Amino acid sequence: MESLGSRIKQLRLRAKLNKAALARKVGVSDVTISYWESGAIKQIGHERLVALADALDCSLATLLEGESAPELLTLTHTGPPPWGTGTGNNH
């Protein structure tokens, strides 16, 4: 299983950012980015994770779970509701 640190590095390289540039976007030091990528710091707060996903132009799910993260689907219903029309004529 791929670690969060390796995903951060992979996504950073895909975004063509060096550690210093990513650090500026997230609001941390480049040393912190190095620690995250190496796994020296394993716990990253929610606000930092959201900032990382934004800076890396990916979803939070992709950051946390990788490219195989399921995409959110929007369900649409095109017919009448299955419980009837609400007119009281349901048989």
Tens of pLDDT, residues 12-46? 999 999 999 999 999 999 999 999 999 999 899 99
Structural domains in the chain, sorted by start: 4-65 (1.10.260.40)
| The predicted structure's pLDDT at residue 67 | 72
Which CA distances in Å does 20 have to 12, 29, 32, 60, 74?
11, 7, 10, 21, 37
Q: Which of 45, 81, 65 is nearest to 90 (CA)?
A: 81
Residue 72 has pLDDT above 60, yes or no: no
| Range with the poorest average pLDDT among 43-47, 48-52, 81-85 | 81-85
